């Protein structure tokens, strides 16, 4: 019986329909337009006043205020009429408080039609406080324009390193910053401990990544510029639109630079006793015997020491002055080569003179020869025969 009941239970469980998987959110369900390729999710629809003609969307007034540095006070006074006129078109009142050093924006629920315009006005006064020019900051009121203020002050502790990396982001003659502005389509301003950026959502995301990588020393902005240029070229090719671009993008490896090793101080062995007390001035005088000398002898000894030091200094200065008049020593190689050349020249002249002397002697001997001495008379014997007979 027990086995029969178990079989019935298992059959009942198998017959139950499978429930769909639960989603995390209550309303997180697949929508028909999620996979629609014709919808561009980056586009922001422009607000139309006809959507809120009655102005009943706002029930209460909202206000935001922000502080600004003292060096911006003069500029804000001059540019405030432009800011007030731009906000008045959207039904927002603004106030500049020079005593407290603050800017305030406030909605008028009867006049405001766009409920999100107060957030745009808040971003406007934030950008003005971060040294963005008023004509550029007013563009944030447009629906397609967004902003992002990136805080970089806490990313680097060392002040010198912070300044160096911030300058790396700007580049020589603002060249790196201009290249980033062109490639991302955003306005970028580096001021103090913040980087202000204005543009589309996609561009702001790229700018934030580049700034954080630069300040944390992960990747140089120049390499990001190269990657963005390649992506721009690849996006223009329709064949590679739906493919992965990782194989085309360069991979920059971080080089490990050898750092200087910190010399660790050797720990001395611990001793509970304090170090010996250094000898005082009086103890040193007692050891040398100077303590028992009279004042006259002490002054005489000091004078003698001074005279000895002065004599040493005068000798050194005299030696320095005389060094200018000492002729430089000629190198041994030059002298040896010169002497060798002179010896060679003398021997060559002697040989040539000897040759000439021999030649002259031969010529003279030929000139003095008398042919009659070699011709013998008919009745006389030759001179050679006479010499032989004399020898005998």
Q: Give the single-character DSSP code of 150.
A: E
Summarize the confidence of residues 331-348 as an average pLDDT: 62
**310 pLDDT higher than 80:** yes
CA 260 to chain centre: 18
User: What is the chain's length?
Assistant: 392
pLDDT higher than 60, residue 385: no
> Torsions phi, psi of 20, nearest 5?
-70, 150
Residue 306 pLDDT: 93
> Which of residues 50 and 193 earns the better pLDDT score?
193
pLDDT at 17 over 70: no
- Lowest-pLDDT choice from 87-101, 274-288, 346-360: 346-360
The whole-number pLDDT of residue 22 equals: 60
CA atoms lying within 13 Å on the CB side of residue 76 = 25
Cβ neighbours around 181 below 10 Å, total: 18
Give dist(CA 225, CA 208) in Å, integer: 14
* pTM exceeds cut of 0.75: no
pLDDT tens profile 215-255 = 998 888 999 999 999 888 888 888 887 788 888 888 877 66
- Is the Cα torsion angle 28, 32, 35, 37 positive or negative in sign? negative
Q: Return the DSSP state at 244.
A: -
Render pLDDT for 131-171 as a digit per residue (tens, 0 to 9).
999 999 999 999 889 999 999 998 999 999 999 999 999 99
Residue 270: what pLDDT?
87
**Do 171 and 177 meet the contact criterion of CB atoms below 8 Å apart?**
yes
pLDDT surpassing 90 at residue 357: no
Question: Comparing 353 with 153, which gets the higher pLDDT?
Answer: 153
pLDDT of residue 166: 93
Q: Is the Cβ–Cβ distance between 188 and 195 less than 8 Å?
A: yes
């Amino acid at each position: 019986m027990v086995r029969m009941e178990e079989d019935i239970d298992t059959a009942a469980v198998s017959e139950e329909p499978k429930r769909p998987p639960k989603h995390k959110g209550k309303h997180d369900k697949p929508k028909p337009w999620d996979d629609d390729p014709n919808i561009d999710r980056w586009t922001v629809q422009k607000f139309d006043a006809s959507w809120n003609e009655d102005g009943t969307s706002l029930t209460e007034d909202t206000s935001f205020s922000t502080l600004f540095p003292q060096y911006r006070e003069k500029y804000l006074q001059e540019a405030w009429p432009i800011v007030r006129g731009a906000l008045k078109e959207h039904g927002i009142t603004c106030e500049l408080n020079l005593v407290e050093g603050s800017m305030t924006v406030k909605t008028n629920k009867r006049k405001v039609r766009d409920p999100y315009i107060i957030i745009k006005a808040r971003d406007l006064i934030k950008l003005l406080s971060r040294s963005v020019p008023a004509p550029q900051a007013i563009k944030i009121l447009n629906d397609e324009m967004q902003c992002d203020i990136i805080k970089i002050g806490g990313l680097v502790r060392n002040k010198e390193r912070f300044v160096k990396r911030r300058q790396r982001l700007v580049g020589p003659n603002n060249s790196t910053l201009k290249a980033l502005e062109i490639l991302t389509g955003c306005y970028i301003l580096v001021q103090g401990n913040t980087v202000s950026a204005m543009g589309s959502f996609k561009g702001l995301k790229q700018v934030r990544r580049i700034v954080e990588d630069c300040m944390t020393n992960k990747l140089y902005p120049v390499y990001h510029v190269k990657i963005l240029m390649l992506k721009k070229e690849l996006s223009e090719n329709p064949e590679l639109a739906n493919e992965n671009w990782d194989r085309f993008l360069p991979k920059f490896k971080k080089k490990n630079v050898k750092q200087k090793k910190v010399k660790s101080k050797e720990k001395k062995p611990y001793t509970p006793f304090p170090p010996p007390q250094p000898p005082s001035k009086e103890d040193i005088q007692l050891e040398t015997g100077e303590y028992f000398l009279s004042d006259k002898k002490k002054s005489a000894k000091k004078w003698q020491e001074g005279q000895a030091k002065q004599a040493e200094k005068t000798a050194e200065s005299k030696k320095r002055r005389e060094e200018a008049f000492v002729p430089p020593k000629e190198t041994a190689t030059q002298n040896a080569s010169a002497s060798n050349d002179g010896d060679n020249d003398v021997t060559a002249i002697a040989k040539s003179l000897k040759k000439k002397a021999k030649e002259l002697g031969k010529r003279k001997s030929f000139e003095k020869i008398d042919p009659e001495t070699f011709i013998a008379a008919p009745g006389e014997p030759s001179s050679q025969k006479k010499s032989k007979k004399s020898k005998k």
